[in-house]
């Protein structure tokens, strides 16, 4: 995906949140629940940029203006 090369190959939580357009709390929750691929190193959660982008490509995004059904 073009434009993501500006992010380093290994990201911390604020970096992955910025890359995905999420708040840090959302990124923390999603990675903690196993949605966003990450590795826990001690108490730090780290993300491989390419793994996160591969994961993102598989996600279904609803068309603009439509909310997912609950």
DSSP state of 32: H
Per CATH, is 4-57 categorized as 1.10.10?
yes
Q: Tell me the pTM.
A: 0.78
What mean pLDDT comes out for the span 7-26? Answer: 95
Residue 11 has pLDDT above 60, yes or no: yes
CB 39 within 8 A of CB 46: yes
- The CA-atom distances, in angstroms, between 6 and each of 14, 24, 34, 43, 55 are 15, 19, 25, 26, 18
Confidence of residue 59 (pLDDT cuts 50, 70, 90): confident
């Amino acid at each position: 995906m073009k434009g993501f090369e500006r992010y380093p190959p290994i990201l911390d939580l604020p970096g992955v949140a910025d890359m995905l357009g999420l708040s840090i709390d959302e990124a923390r929750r999603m990675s903690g629940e196993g949605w966003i691929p990450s590795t826990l190193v001690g108490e730090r959660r780290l993300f491989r940029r390419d793994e996160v982008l591969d994961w993102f490509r598989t996600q279904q995004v609803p068309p603009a203006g439509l909310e997912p059904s609950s």
